[in-house]
Structure 1
Amino acid sequence: MKLFKQAIVFVVLLGVAATACRNDKAEGEKSNLKTVKGLYSFGPEMKSFTLCEDGREYWVKDSVKNLELSYSNLGFEKPYEPVYVELEGYFAKSDTATVSPDFDSTLVVMKVLKISKEIPDGPCAQ
């Protein structure tokens, strides 16, 4: 009976610890949110974001499933046409099992602020 009680206490503590870790991760992601501006390209094999300010390129994970839909609604005939975007998200290390080795970081999109075929003059104009 004593062993049974210890096992129950262990399982409860394990559950509490797992929940606390999950909440810490979510809080960490929220505190790392940034607003970024750049060019987004989407196609069957690649989703990339190029930061306007320094030209660094990132893989994109569309956590809200709104970015890909907004891109598709612009009606391009060919994939991979760049569009100007302003996004809210955070940067994370890329999963090498699912992401091309060319990208060491991934932009996880939490909110689409703006998407446009019109690329503004300045650092984003190519």
Structure 2
Amino acid sequence: MNSLKHTFLLLFILSIVLVACDRNGKDAQKSKTRIIKGLYSYGPEIKSFTDCEEGREYWVADSSGTLELGYSRFNFEKPYEPVYIEAECHAIKSDSLMVSADFDSTLVVTKLIKITKEIPDGPCNQ
């Protein structure tokens, strides 16, 4: 009977530890989410974002499903016309076997906040 109590106690403690570890993982992922502002270009081969403040260029993955749709609504005659976007995203390492390998990181867009053809004055408009 005593060993049964110890087994249940051990299982209870392990479940508490697992729940605590899982929460830390979710909090860490949330803290990596950020708002980006810059220029997005889209075409048959390239989906890129340029951070106007840093000047860095990233490959873009649209997990929200709204970024490419918003871009296509502008009906550009040629691909790769830049638009200004503000979006919620997180960065991941680019896949070395794809076109995205030319970029250090891939920005995974989770929420599109703003998309416009009007590029605001400032570092994006130089």
Q: TM-score if structure 1 supplies the norm length?
A: 0.77
Q: Residues 112 and 76 (structure 1 numbering): CA distance in 2 closer, same or farther, change over 3 Å?
A: same
Identity %: 61
Q: Which runs of 4+ in 1 moved over 3 A?
A: 23-28
Partner of 1:75: 75
Partners of 1:73 and 1:32 lie apart in 2 by 30
Please state if 1:112 is matched with 2:112. Answer: yes
User: What does 1:1-126 correspond to in 2, within 5 Å?
Assistant: 27-126=27-126
Structure 2: runs of 5 or more not aligned: 1-17
Give CA deviations for 1:30-55 in whole Å, capped at 9, x if unaligned. 22110110000000001000001111
Code of the residue aligned with 2:86 in structure 1: it is E
Residue correspondences, number: 108
Partners of 1:96 and 1:26 lie apart in 2 by 26
Which structure's CA Rg is the greater one?
Answer: 2
Q: Residues 33 and 125 (structure 1 numbering): CA distance in 2 closer, same or farther, change over 3 Å?
A: same
Partner of 1:14: none
Partners of 2:57 and 2:81 lie apart in 1 by 15
Partners of 1:50 and 1:26 lie apart in 2 by 28
Post-superposition shift, 1:101? 2.9
RMSD: 1.9
**Further displaced range: 56-65 or 95-104:** 95-104
Structure 1: runs of 5 or more not aligned: 1-16
Structure with greater helix share of residues:
2
